[in-house]
């Protein structure tokens, strides 16, 4: 509920702006114009061999290169030293700083696959991580994640989801895994009206909720189309669709479908909220901080920073400074770019 209250003043038009077409690039990490993979590989080797390890040198190199450049560094390091760079760094580093460095050396698909695997590994499942990744990635990104997952773990992503989730939540995740969600930017007004009516009749109007209707619509319509549905729902329902979902559903399926709603309405604001919650209260969820800053650094982290400041009255960097320390803090701040 608080998420939408913070957005209400900003979004008053019938259709929210589409960030993807407003500017060509919203990332904080840009290619190093003087990039030399072999030189960076040699500098990393020197930093690793330095007594006590030179974390500053490692940070300066890896957090100032794009993912594509880091993949070249990995290849150059193995070619020049005969060693695997991630494994070498893993043995030299520790704690949350190690996690960021290793995340930066994975491709985006490999990192998402790793995070999904970790979320379903062990006795407890981190459902919100599953919602975050599968609810915000494009069809092409999900296809690449599935390929990376199979290559890394020898089984299909869907296999793990079926084994670790159940009920409506499992149904929604598997629907997203199909990577067939519409990505058409054109809006069908007639379909939006009929979908809004169907959602109202499956929820508010009915005693009990037909969750399958919510799942079918929210996991298949494009983000632009969903925004139109939200506006149409206001005309047929007694409350906004976000409130209807909160009242009609609960638990993991509510979280999953609310992720789709929030991401459609304003994806940077969704991630800003996730970062805020990771640093709110006692203790910091370093896994969430690392995952979002690494995965969005070449996508929309500039927009996330803007939304964070607007929503919480302080910069993302100020929050990170208050919640983290040492080399972990330094590398996160560098990923955030300039203020």
Q: Give the start-to-end residue ranges of the domains of the chain.
A: 1-28+267-339, 37-105, 108-177, 181-249
CB under 8 Å to 226, separation ≥6 — which residues? Answer: 218, 260, 261, 264, 265
Say how far apart CA 168 and CA 321 lie, in whole Å: 39
Structure tokens at 279: 């640093």
Report pLDDT for 20: 44
pLDDT tens column, 108-145: 999 999 999 999 998 889 999 999 999 999 999 999 99
* Euclidean distance between CA atoms 128 and 215, whole angstroms: 17
Query: Residue 3 has what pLDDT?
Result: 64
Please report which helix (H) or strand (E) contains residue 199, including its range.
helix 189-202
Residue 122 is predicted with a pLDDT of: 81
Q: 136 near 295, Cβ under 8 Å? A: no
What are 268's two structure tokens?
A: 């940077």
pTM over 0.95: no
Q: Which CATH number fits domain 181-249: 3.40.190.10, 3.40.50.720, 1.10.220.10, 1.20.1050.40?
A: 1.10.220.10
CATH code of the region 1-28+267-339? 1.10.220.10
Q: What is the pLDDT of residue 12?
A: 35
pLDDT reported for residue 21: 46
CB 256 within 8 A of CB 173: yes
pLDDT score for 281: 85
DSSP string, 144-183: HHHHHHHHHHSS-HHHHHHHH--HHHHHHHHHHHT-----
CA distance 258 to 264: 10
The whole-number mean pLDDT for each consecutive block of 10 residues of the chain, a chain of 339 residues, reads 53 42 80 98 97 96 98 98 97 97 98 98 92 98 98 98 97 98 97 97 84 97 97 92 93 97 97 97 94 98 98 97 97 90
* Class of 108-177 in CATH: mainly alpha
249-287 residue pLDDT tens: 999 999 999 999 999 999 999 999 999 999 998 889 999
At residue 339, the pLDDT reads: 61
- Fold for domain 37-105? Annexin V; domain 1 (1.10.220)
């Amino acid at each position: 509920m608080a998420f939408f209250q913070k957005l209400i003043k900003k979004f008053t038009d019938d259709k929210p702006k589409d960030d993807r077409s407003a500017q060509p690039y919203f990332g904080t990490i840009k290619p190093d114009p003087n990039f030399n993979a072999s030189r960076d590989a040699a500098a990393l080797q020197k930093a690793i061999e330095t007594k006590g390890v030179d974390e500053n040198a490692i940070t300066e190199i890896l957090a100032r290169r794009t993912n594509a450049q880091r993949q070249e560094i990995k290849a150059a390091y193995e070619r020049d030293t005969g060693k695997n760079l991630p494994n070498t760094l893993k043995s030299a580093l520790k704690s949350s700083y190690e996690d960021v460095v290793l995340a930066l050396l994975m491709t985006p698909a490999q990192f998402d696959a790793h995070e999904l695997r970790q979320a379903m590994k062990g006795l407890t499942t981190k459902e919100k991580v599953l919602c975050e990744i599968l609810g915000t990635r494009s069809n092409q990104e999900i296809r690449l994640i599935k390929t990376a997952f199979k290559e890394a773990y020898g089984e299909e992503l869907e296999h793990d989801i079926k084994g670790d989730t159940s009920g409506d939540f499992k149904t929604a995740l598997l629907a997203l895994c199909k990577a067939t969600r519409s990505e058409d930017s054109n809006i069908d007004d007639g379909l939006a009206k009929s979908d809004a009516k169907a959602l109202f009749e499956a929820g508010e109007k009915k005693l009990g909720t037909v969750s399958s209707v919510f799942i079918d619509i929210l996991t298949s319509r494009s983000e632009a189309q969903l925004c139109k549905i939200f506006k149409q729902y206001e005309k047929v329902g007694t409350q906004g669709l976000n409130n209807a979902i909160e009242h009609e559903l609960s638990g993991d399926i509510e979280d999953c479908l609310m992720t789709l709603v929030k991401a459609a309405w304003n994806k940077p604001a969704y991630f800003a909220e996730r970062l805020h919650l990771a640093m709110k209260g006692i203790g910091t969820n370093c896994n969430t901080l690392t995952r979002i800053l690494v995965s969005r650094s070449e996508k929309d982290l500039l927009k996330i920073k803007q939304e964070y400041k607007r929503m919480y009255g302080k910069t993302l960097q100020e929050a990170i400074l208050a919640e983290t320390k040492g080399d972990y803090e330094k590398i996160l701040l560098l990923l955030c770019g300039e203020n």
